[in-house]
């Protein structure tokens, strides 16, 4: 079937047949359609009497149907339904999710003309608004709602999911506050605090260890408040074990600001003081190390968090964390996948290019290997080493592998910290409800080269000219909160000052302590 078949009005004959069936026997059509037909105000057609007179009596044979007698209002109702389906299916292609590049142009667009509608219909009230929770609404109100839900800083792919209950759950969830975050002042301040930790930590390392490899998170710092919110919410939902695997980018920040690793220990690793010079062994590089800890959440819940150590072989850790998660489930929580939550962080080039990702995802629903759903989060900096993503894959998105398991994908602008946290909480609720994989595509950028010793302007001069002038997510969010009156202009300065003072203190301590 033509993947864009929803853009034409060819389904009118089908709907007309259904309506004719309803006229003959209302009980013969599905209840939701029966309610739909009963709700029509045919007075809007302007020719109700002639239309009703043209219809056969109930029970009469429906032969030689002439659809030209169908009121234009009824035909347009179905065109609005097609428009709604268009946004649900393709709205993600027209979002504002890219912080440093222009949106790619896709066709056909979601213009009204592609659905047999026009600007002249914008003030017309349509019962189809009930499909998106608006009751009867003007076309303008319906379009505004669809744009807010599907075409802002969060785009979502889900219409390929075959289970209607899952699609309905997603649609109802998206209606809440029109798929926009709704955090209170305290939650917003906590998001800002975690953003500050992410930004200040990287800035500190950049000035104290110039040129050393650290594979910074800069450009994707909103990962930190998202992971923080995930752990807090997961513990509240009864998760007791949190198992995560990730590559090297951003690992140091995750270790320090999520898993609670001492920054003094991290500085010792930068200075080469993690082992005595006389030791007969050597340690791994600092951005491969893992950590296991018990964390007490802000609501008083305890959760065990585990970041698996990682080799340089990209994506192999995915198999490790799925194995750890399944082993914990089998040993401690048999037949209850809800207690152990696996999280897999990917790079955009790796998830699209590494065959092991496909192999692991293919096992997601197998009885012997499934773990009750994994949250896959892609730190998408839109470049693989030096290669532009358009030159590295044939798929539209790096996350298109999600379609193998019919998993929903949320594409999120990494500059919008609230949207990122909102998407993460959506993903958690989906996983806990359906026990299935879910993907988040965190669309950001990479401030420096593949590592801090590389010069990216040689291969991406135009992009890095834009990135050099781009504000970090913390500053963007702080300005938003100041404008909203949530904080004053001194608040973020104090956050930065206090966190930097802690880092300075730990750096001094690391350089004074004896070798272990």
pLDDT tens digit sequence for 104-132: 899 889 999 999 999 999 999 999 999 99
Q: How many C-beta atoms surround the C-beta of residue 142 within 10 A?
A: 22
Residue with tokens 């009118």: 12
| Mean per-residue pLDDT, 78-83 | 95
The per-residue pLDDT for 310 is: 87
The per-residue pLDDT for 47 is: 47
Per the structure block, which two tokens stand in for 302?
């305890």
% of the chain exceeding 90 in pLDDT:
67
Domain boundaries, the chain: 5-152, 185-512
Residue with tokens 């773990």: 371
CA pair distance 347, 251, nearest whole angstrom: 12
Among candidates 95, 178, 84, which has minimal Cα distance to 396?
95
CATH number of 185-512: 3.40.50.970
CA pair distance 516, 23, nearest whole angstrom: 85
What is the SS3 assignment for 138? Answer: strand
Q: What is the pLDDT of residues 305-354, one digit of tens each?
A: 999 998 888 899 999 999 999 999 999 999 899 999 999 999 999 999 89
The per-residue pLDDT for 31 is: 66
| Torsions phi, psi for 358 (to 5 deg) | -60, -40
Cis peptide before 108 (omega within 30 of 0): yes
Question: Could you give the residue ranges of the DSSP H alpha helices within 91-250?
Answer: 139-150, 164-175, 185-208, 223-236
**pLDDT band at 41; cut points 50, 70, 90:** very low
Decide if pLDDT at 50 tops 70.
no
Among candidates 48, 121, 51, which has minimal Cα distance to 82?
121
Q: What is the pLDDT of residues 175-200, one digit of tens each?
A: 999 999 999 999 999 999 999 999 99
CATH number of 5-152: 1.10.287.1150
CA pair distance 153, 464, nearest whole angstrom: 22
CA pair distance 373, 336, nearest whole angstrom: 12
| Torsions phi, psi for 342 (to 5 deg) | -90, 135
CA pair distance 143, 147, nearest whole angstrom: 6
| Torsions phi, psi for 115 (to 5 deg) | -120, 15
The per-residue pLDDT for 91 is: 97
Decide if 100 contacts 17 (C-beta within 8 A). Answer: no
The per-residue pLDDT for 456 is: 76
Residue with tokens 């359906």: 434
**pLDDT band at 448; cut points 50, 70, 90:** confident
Residue with tokens 């919110």: 229
Per-residue three-class SS string for 4-20: CHHHCCCCHHHHHHHHH
Tell me, what DSSP letter sits at residue 471? P
Q: Distance of alpha carbon 449 from its chain centroid, rounded?
A: 25
The per-residue pLDDT for 51 is: 42
The per-residue pLDDT for 48 is: 44
CA pair distance 76, 138, nearest whole angstrom: 12
Per the structure block, which two tokens stand in for 77?
């109702």
Tell me, what DSSP letter sits at residue 60? S
Q: What is the pLDDT of residues 401-420, one digit of tens each?
A: 999 999 999 999 999 999 99
CA pair distance 129, 135, nearest whole angstrom: 5
Decide if 243 contacts 341 (C-beta within 8 A). Answer: yes
Instruction: For Cα atoms 359, 360, 364, give the angle at the middle one, nearest 5 degrees.
Output: 120
Decide if pLDDT at 137 tops 60.
yes
Helix (H) or strand (E) holding 413: strand 409-413
| Mean per-residue pLDDT, 370-398 | 90
Decide if pLDDT at 281 tops 70.
no
84 HSE (CA, 13 A, CB side): 21
What totals of helices (H) and strands (E) does the chain contain, helices first?
Answer: 17, 12
Beta-strand relationship, 387-388 and 383-384: antiparallel
Whole-number average pLDDT of the chain: 87
**pLDDT band at 8; cut points 50, 70, 90:** very low
Please report, for residues 83, 176, 230, 336, 400, the alpha-carbon distance to residue 317 in angstroms, rounded to integers and kept in the order given: 42, 36, 20, 23, 20
């Amino acid at each position: 079937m033509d993947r864009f078949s929803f853009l034409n009005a060819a389904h009118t004959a089908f709907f007309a047949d259904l309506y004719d069936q309803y006229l003959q026997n209302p009980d013969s059509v599905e209840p939701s359609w029966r309610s739909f037909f009963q709700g029509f105000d045919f007075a809007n057609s302007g020719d109700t009497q002639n239309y009703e007179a043209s219809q056969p009596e109930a029970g009469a044979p429906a032969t030689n149907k002439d659809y030209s007698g169908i009121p234009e209002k009824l035909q347009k109702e179905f065109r609005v339904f097609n428009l709604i389906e268009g946004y649900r299916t393709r709205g993600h292609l027209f979002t504002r999710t890219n912080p440093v590049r222009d949106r790619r142009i896709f066709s056909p667009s979601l213009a009204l003309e592609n659905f047999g509608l026009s600007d002249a219909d914008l003030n017309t009230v349509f019962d189809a608004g009930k499909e998106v929770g608006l009751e009867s609404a003007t076309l303008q109100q319906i379009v505004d709602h669809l744009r807010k839900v599907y075409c802002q800083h969060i785009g979502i792919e889900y219409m390929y999911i075959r289970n209607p209950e899952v699609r309905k759950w997603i649609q109802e969830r998206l209606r809440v506050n029109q798929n926009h975050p709704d955090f209170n002042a305290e939650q917003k301040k906590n998001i800002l605090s975690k953003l500050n930790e992410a930004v200040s930590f990287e800035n500190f390392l950049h000035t104290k260890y110039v040129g050393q490899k650290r594979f910074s998170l800069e450009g994707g710092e909103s990962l930190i408040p998202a992971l923080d919110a995930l752990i807090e919410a997961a513990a509240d939902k009864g998760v007791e074990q949190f198992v995560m695997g990730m590559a090297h980018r951003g690992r140091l920040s995750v270790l320090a600001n999520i898993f609670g690793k001492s920054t003094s220990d991290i500085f010792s690793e930068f200075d080469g003081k993690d082992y005595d010079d006389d030791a007969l062994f050597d340690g791994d590089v600092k951005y491969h190390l893992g950590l296991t800890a018990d964390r007490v959440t802000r609501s008083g819940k305890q959760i065990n968090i585990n970041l698996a150590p990682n080799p340089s072989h990209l994506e192999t850790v995915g198999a490790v964390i799925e194995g750890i998660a399944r082993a914990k489930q089998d040993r401690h929580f048999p037949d209850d996948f809800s207690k152990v939550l696996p999280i897999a962080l990917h790079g955009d080039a790796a998830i699209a290019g590494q065959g092991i990702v496909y192999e692991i995802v293919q096992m997601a629903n197998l009885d012997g290997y499934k773990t009750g759903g994994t949250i896959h989060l892609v730190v998408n900096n839109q470049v693989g080493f030096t290669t532009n993503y358009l030159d590295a894959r044939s798929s539209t998105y790096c996350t298109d592998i999600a379609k193998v398991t019919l998993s929903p994908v949320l594409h999120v602008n990494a500059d919008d910290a609230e949207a990122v946290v909102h998407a993460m909480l959506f993903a958690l609720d989906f996983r806990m409800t359906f026990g299935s994989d879910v993907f988040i595509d965190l669309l950001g950028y990479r401030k420096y080269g593949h590592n801090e010793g590389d010069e990216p302007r040689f291969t991406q001069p135009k992009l890095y000219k834009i990135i050099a002038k781009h504000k970090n997510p913390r500053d963007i969010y702080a300005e938003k909160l100041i404008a909203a009156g949530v904080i004053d202009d001194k608040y973020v300065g104090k956050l930065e000052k206090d966190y930097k003072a802690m880092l300075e203190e730990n750096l001094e301590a690391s350089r004074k302590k004896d070798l272990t």
